[in-house]
Amino acid sequence: MMKVAVVGHVEWIEFARVDRVPLAGEIVQASETWERPGGGGAVAAVQLRKLAGSVILFTAFGDDQRGHLARSELESLGVQVAARFRTQPQRRGFTFLDARGERTITVMGDRMGPRGSDSLPWDELNWADAVYFTAGDDEALRAARRARLLVATSRVLPQLVRARVPLDVVVGSGRDPAERYRPTLLDPPPRLVVTTMGRRGGSFETAGGRAGRYRAAPVPGLMADSYGCGDSFAAGLTYALGAGLEIEEALEFAARCGAACLTGRGPFAGQLTLHGPKAGRQRAG
């Protein structure tokens, strides 16, 4: 069985389904509302648990009702949580889901990740096949590097530039200017950069100069909403590359994870569940 982990953040999300996002000054009626844990670390951890059978999430929560509830719900979803509670409110968010399934998110509070100085079972990462990093201090990022394969989100590019931790993969949205990776930005350069473009698929480029594109996977059912698709994709990519799939195969698998997430209400209901793809031992390069 593969050993996988996430070093990242959790948000408490309130969802509201509407026909469309309101214009300035406008009032709209929500057809339904609900609340769940979310954020990149939480979404990826649950997806990896469904793929690998188990996962450990290194994170931090606010020491309030939302923070404790987020931890409890993630554990009920099968995630092994290694976390510290901070003396600050749990980061939360409000998400509109419109009739097309698009999500529009407002977050409140600072992103909380684990610190390398936190008393957490960091030694577990010494034997990890793959780790996905979304948040944490530089020491936590260096701890994540103990894994055989380290994937990081480009949402934290300023930190990745500063920390200069060697990365196997950087993945992020090509539609968000804050996530766009530029060649020579990181030193040392990552072995693989993956840029996602939603329904248009995406592209990849290796440190050796090999480049290509991949297609979005067919949506395996009725589309519910897009919340969590990007981090489900990243989790699928982390799992597939950690399992030894070649780049093109890993991207195809990750695209299936992103497409499956589209069919569920909120981030977890539609996520792909597998015993694992057939895999060799070769890493991305």
Structurally, the chain folds into a number of domains equal to 1
Cα–Cα distances in angstroms (integers) from residue 222 to residues 33, 89, 98, in the given order: 19, 36, 15
The string of pLDDT tens digits covering residues 120-169 is: 999 999 999 999 999 999 999 999 999 999 999 999 999 999 999 999 99
User: How confident is the model over 39-55, as pLDDT tens digits?
Assistant: 999 999 999 999 999 99
The H-or-E segment that residue 83 falls in is: strand 80-86
269 lies in a domain? no
Q: Is residue 91 part of a domain?
A: yes
Within-domain flag for 99: yes
What's the domain range around 188? Answer: 4-261
- Bridge partners for 106 per DSSP: 94
- Report if residue 195 sits inside a domain: yes
Which residue, 264, 237, 246, 265, is CA-closest to 51?
Answer: 237
Is 132 among the domain residues? yes
Residues in the chain: 285
Within a domain: residue 283?
Answer: no
| DSSP-based helix, strand, coil % in the chain, nearest 5 | 30, 25, 45
Q: Are 121 and 56 in contact (CB under 8 A)?
A: yes
Beta bridge partners of 130: 4
The per-residue pLDDT for 282 is 35
The reported pLDDT for the residue numbered 96 is 96
Residue 282 inside a domain? The answer is no
User: Which CATH number goes with the domain that contains 12?
Assistant: 3.40.1190.20
Give the CA radius of gyration of the chain. 18
What's residue 139's pLDDT?
98
Residue 280 lies in a domain: no
| In the predicted structure, residue 224 carries a pLDDT above the cut 60 | yes
Confidence of residue 275 (pLDDT cuts 50, 70, 90): low
